[in-house]
Structure 1
Amino acid sequence: MLSNLHSLSSKNVQSLWNSYAPGLLLTTTIAVAAQFLGEHYGAPVMLFALLIGMAFNFLAHEPSCERGVQVSTSTILRIGVALLGVRISLEDFSSLGWINLSATVGLLIATILFGVLCAKALGERWQFGLLTGGAVAICGASAALALAAILPSNKQSGKETLFTVIAVTTLSTLAMISYPMIAQNLNLNELQTGFVLGATIHDVAQVVGAGYSISDSIGETATIVKLIRVSCLPIVLFIVLIIMKTKSNDSKISSSAITIPTFLIFFLLLATLNSFALLSEALIHIANEASRWLLVIAIAGLGVKTSLKSTFSLGKRQMGLIVIETLFLFIAAVLFVEWGLSA
C-alpha cells in the first residue's frame, strides 16, 4: 500500500512538474536576462522583461508552457505585490508632516479620478482609466499589475495591462531624466524638489535614481514621499474591490460578503510588522529582493502572453491618456510646492 501511495505521489509530482516547469523556466530565464541587460545598460529591468517576453509570444499557447506562464502572471504576481509591504512603515508617514502627507494623498486621489474621467471622455472603458490613473498615481508597473489582479480579466484587459506597464515604465524613465532638470530650472529648494520627484515619478527605482542624482537629502525626501504613495496601494485595491463587487451584484452584495484578497492581507501584515520594527534588516532585504524578482518574472510572463501587434492596436488615444495623466500629476505637484510647501 505504501509503495502504491509513493508511486501515486511521484506521478502527481511529475505531472505538476511537466505542467508548470517549462513555462516558469521560460519566464524566470527572461527575468534573469532582463536583470543582466538592466545592470549593464542602465535601463529599467521591467522594460527589458516586457520586450524580451513579447519576443517569445509564440510560446504563450504552447501546451507545455501555457500553465507556467499563467502562474507567473497570477500567483507569482500576487506574492510579489504582497512582499512590497516590507517597504512601508508608520515612520514614513510621520517624518513627512501632515500637510505634505495630505497633499501626497490628495494628488494621488485626484490623478486616479482624473484618469477615470479622461478615459470616459475619450471613449475608453472606465476600468482602463482606473488602471492607467492608478499606475501613474501610485507606483507605476507594480500598481498596474496589482490593479489588474483584481479587475475583471479578459483579452482586452490583458492588452490594456501590458500597454499600461510599457507606457508607465517608459514615461518613468523619461521623468527620471527630465524632472530633476525641470525642478532646477523652476528654482525649487531641496524639500520642494524632493517632494515633486517623489510625488510624480511612476516607479520607485526611478524616484531613487532621480532624487539621489541631485543630492542625498533630496533623494531621502523623494523616497519617503514615494513610499507614502506605495503605502496607499492596499487602500486603493480594497476600494476598487468594493466597487467591483458592488457593480457585479448590486443588491446581493453586503460589506460582510466582500473578501480581501490574500495577497493584500499579507501586504498589510508585513507593513504592520515593519512599522513596529519586528522585521530584521536581513529579512527586509531578502523580501525586497524576492519581491523585485517575482514582479520581474510576472512582467516577463505578461510579455509572453501578449503580442506587440495586439498591444499597440490600442492606439495613440490610449497613450495620450497616460501622458495627460502624467502631466496632470506633475503640474499639480509643482503648483502645490509653489504655493507653499510645509517644511
Structure 2
Amino acid sequence: MRERMPGLAVAASAALIAWLVHLAVPALPILTAAVALGIVVGQVPALQPALSGRLAPGLQVASRRLLRIGIVLLGLKLSLVDIAGLGWVTILTTVGVVVITFVGTIGLGRALGLPGHQPVLVASGFSICGASAIGAMAATVRAKDEEQAVPIALVTLCGTLAIAVLPALWHPLGLSATGFGHWVGAGVHDVGQVVATAQLAGTAALAVAVVVKLTRVLMLAPMVAIAAAVERRRTIEPAGPPPAIVPLFIAGFLAAVLLNTFVPLPEQLLAAADQVQIALLATALFALGASVRVTELVHTGWRALVVGLTSWVLVAALAYGAVLLG
C-alpha cells in the first residue's frame, strides 16, 4: 500500500483541482476537466519519469480499481422506471443509436488498421458513455494502458467540442427545447457533458437529456458482456484464464440499477453516492489521461482521429434521426 499512496494522492489531488475548475467554469464538467488535466500533466517532460516510475502503482490502482467502483455507483443514477417513462419508440431508437455507432465505429477502425483493441475502445467511448466506457471495456478485454490513450484523448476532444457545437445547431435544425435535450442525451458522450450542454435549453430539456443518456449508459452492461464473450473465444489458455462473461463490476453496476429501481433509497444516500462516484471517476480518469502522450498521437494517431471524428458525426446524425422519429 505504501508504494501506491503517492500515485493515489496525486490522482485524488488532481480530482480536487478538476472540481475547483468546474466551480470556476460550470460549463466544463468535472470528469472532462479531470481527463484534460491528466493529459496536460502527461505531456510535461519533467513529470514523465515520475508518472511511469514512483507514481505508476498508485495511478494504476486509480485507473482500474477506482474506475470499477465508480461504475458500480453509477448504477445508482439509473432507474428502470424513468427509462420506461421515455416510451418504447425512444428506448428502441436510443438502443439503435448505440448499436449502430458501436458496430460502425469498430468496422471503420478495423478498415483503417487501428491496432489492437483500439477499434472496440473508440466504439465504446463514442457510442456509450465516454472515457468511463473506455475504461470499463479495456478492463474486460484486457487492453494495455497505451491502447486506451488514443481513445480517451479522442472522446475528450469530441465531447468537449459537442458542448459548443450542438447548442449552435439547436435552432437551425428546428428542434424544440425537449427535442434538443433528446438529441443531446442520445448524441453526447459523457454524462457531465450532457448536463453541461442540455442545461442551456432549460430544466425540461435537461431532464429528458439525462434520462436518454442514462439509457445509453445502461447499454454498457450488455456491450461489455458481449465483448467479454468474444474475448473468451479468442483467449489462448496458456496466456491466462479467459475473462468472465459478465465482469464482477458490471454485475455490481446492474445490481445498483435494480436496487435504485425497486428499493426506495433515501435522497441523502443517493446524493452522497453520486458525489463519491464523481470523485472516484475523476480520480480514475485523471490517471487514464496521464498515460496519453500527444507526441505519439501526432505521429501515429491520424487514423484514430479520422475514426473518432467520423464516429462523432455518425452518433450525432443518428441521434438527430432518433429525435425526428420520436
Amino acid at match of 1:207: V
Give the TM-score of the pair, scaled to structure 2: 0.90
Q: Deviations over 1:174-222 (max 9, x none)?
A: 1122212212111122342222111001111121122121122111111
User: For 2:322 and 2:5, how far apart are their aligned partners in 1?
Assistant: 50
Question: What's the counterpart of residue 35 of structure 2?
Answer: 47
Amino acid at match of 1:289: Q
Classify the secondary structure of the residue corresponding to 1:73: helix
| Cα deviation, residue 57, structure 1 | 2.5
Shift in CA distance, 181/45, structure 1 to aligned 2, threshold 3 Å: same
Larger of the two Rg values belongs to structure: 1
Are 1:79 and 2:64 an aligned pair? Answer: no
Classify the secondary structure of the residue corresponding to 2:160: helix
Aligned ranges for residues 86-97 of structure 1 at < 5 Å? 86-97=76-87
Classify the secondary structure of the residue corresponding to 1:124: coil
Q: Deviations over 1:248-307 (max 9, x none)?
A: 149xxxx9x945322112111111100013422111111111111111111222233443
Question: What's the counterpart of residue 282 of structure 1?
Answer: 268
Question: What's the counterpart of residue 121 of structure 1?
Answer: 111
Q: Is the 8 A contact 2:181 2:201 kept in 1?
A: no
Aligned ranges for residues 289-300 of structure 1 at < 5 Å? 289-300=275-286
Are 1:237 and 2:224 an aligned pair? Answer: yes
Are 1:198 and 2:188 an aligned pair? Answer: no
| Residue segments in structure 1 that go unaligned for 5+ positions in a row | 1-15
User: For 1:228 and 1:47, how far apart are their aligned partners in 2?
Assistant: 23
Q: Deviations over 1:86-112 (max 9, x none)?
A: 111111221100011000001100000
User: For 1:203 and 1:267, how far apart are their aligned partners in 2?
Assistant: 17
Q: Deviations over 1:17-50 (max 9, x none)?
A: 2x22112112112222222223223433233332
Q: Is the 8 A contact 2:150 2:292 kept in 1?
A: no
Which of the residues 41, 60, 69 maps onto 1:70? 60
Question: What's the counterpart of residue 207 of structure 2?
Answer: 220
Question: What's the counterpart of residue 304 of structure 1?
Answer: 290
Amino acid at match of 1:104: T
**Structure 1 range deviating more: 44-53 or 318-327:** 44-53
Q: Is the 8 A contact 2:90 2:322 kept in 1?
A: no
Amino acid at match of 2:98: L
Shift in CA distance, 90/26, structure 1 to aligned 2, threshold 3 Å: same
User: For 2:63 and 2:71, how far apart are their aligned partners in 1?
Assistant: 12
| Residue segments in structure 2 that go unaligned for 5+ positions in a row | none
Q: Is the 8 A contact 1:77 1:298 kept in 2?
A: yes
Question: What's the counterpart of residue 5 of structure 1?
Answer: none
Give the TM-score of the pair, scaled to structure 1: 0.85
Amino acid at match of 1:24: L
Amino acid at match of 2:39: L
Aligned ranges for residues 260-275 of structure 1 at < 5 Å? 260-275=246-261
Are 1:21 and 2:5 an aligned pair? Answer: yes
Q: Deviations over 1:105-156 (max 9, x none)?
A: 01100000001110111122473221111111111111111111112333xx
Shift in CA distance, 336/66, structure 1 to aligned 2, threshold 3 Å: closer
Amino acid at match of 1:262: L
**Structure 1 range deviating more: 297-306 or 326-335:** 297-306
Question: What's the counterpart of residue 329 of structure 1?
Answer: 315
Question: What's the counterpart of residue 11 of structure 1?
Answer: none
Percent pairwise identity:
27
Q: Is the 8 A contact 2:125 2:131 kept in 1?
A: yes
Shift in CA distance, 259/130, structure 1 to aligned 2, threshold 3 Å: closer
Q: Is the 8 A contact 1:175 1:201 kept in 2?
A: yes
Q: Is the 8 A contact 1:22 1:68 kept in 2?
A: yes
Aligned ranges for residues 29-44 of structure 1 at < 5 Å? 29-42=13-26, 43=28, 44=32
Which of the residues 92, 108, 117 maps onto 2:98? 108
Q: Is the 8 A contact 1:73 1:302 kept in 2?
A: yes
Which of the residues 136, 144, 153 maps onto 2:143? 153
Classify the secondary structure of the residue corresponding to 1:96: coil
Q: Deviations over 1:61-101 (max 9, x none)?
A: 32x43321221122112111111111111112211000110
